[in-house]
Amino acid sequence: MKKSQTQVLQWARRVRDFIVGYEIKSDVAELTTLKQELDETIGQLTADAAAQEAITNQSRVQTTEIKQLRKTLRDTHLKPIVRMSRTMQLQINGTAITFTLPSEKVNSERLAAHSDAMATALNVVGPQFTARGFASNFVDQLNTTTKALRDAIDQRAVQLSRRTGTTAAMLAHEIRLVRIVRVIDTIVRPAIATNPELLASWENVVAVPRLPKPAAAAITPPVGSTSPSVSATSAAPTTVGNTTAQDVKAA
């Protein structure tokens, strides 16, 4: 939760407590409906803040899990296979093959893809490894760890997507709270104008935090305008190619 959203939430609660505590009566409009709307929006922003915190914590847990699974896949499963393969002459359909160990820095999807490719080859040459002491189900172990890594990656992606949606909702509720209180202010001020002490208290409570700036909207020139059209320009995007991590052979 952003600092500004925390401030707006606390401020909106103070405004609500004020209008509830003083039971202000206005000839212009009743505050009952606005108070209810204020309560609901406060509740929504509070719930979203709690959800965002839970999502963030879960994402941290999943990030840690992914790091552990990466290490297990690379060091516990792939590395022994690669080192053993260097003591062997492996062939598939008459073609010599070699196994290489991916870099520790390779991204998780490429690490999983590398593991899949190795497992495919091991479906053919795996018995030679078993004959040299590898467990009879070592390929299954490799596949299980690869799947666990992919599942963890997918779960973290879902959490990040949820967090993006929650963040957008929080911004909308923050803006709405400010607008509701501005409406309430136009009703409360005339109602307490003859009570200087109460008015001073209200002015202290209702000092409005700065409203978050909305995204800039495009401006369309009037039809028939003789002014030359002006279009926003931006620097040409730089195309960044995928960085290819070199397969690193273990010493």
* Residue 107 belongs to a domain: yes
Residue 178: CB partners within 8 Å, gap ≥ 6? 8, 208, 209, 211
Beta-strand (E) ranges in 157-220? none
CA atoms of 86 and 100, how far apart (whole Å): 9
Distance CA 78, CA 83 (A): 9
Provide the domain count of the chain.
1
245 assigned to some structural domain: no
pTM for this prediction? 0.63
Q: What is the pLDDT of residues 150-209, one digit of tens each?
A: 999 999 999 888 888 999 999 999 999 999 999 999 888 888 888 899 999 999 898 865
Q: Please tell me the distance from the alpha carbon of residue 39 to that of residue 177, in angstroms, as a whole number.
A: 9
Structure confidence by residue, pLDDT tens digits, 40-86 = 999 999 999 999 999 989 889 999 999 999 999 999 999 999 999 99
Q: Residue 110 and residue 145: Cα distance in Å, rounded? A: 14
Range of the domain at 58: 3-206
238 within some domain: no
Residue carrying structure tokens 């499963």 = 77
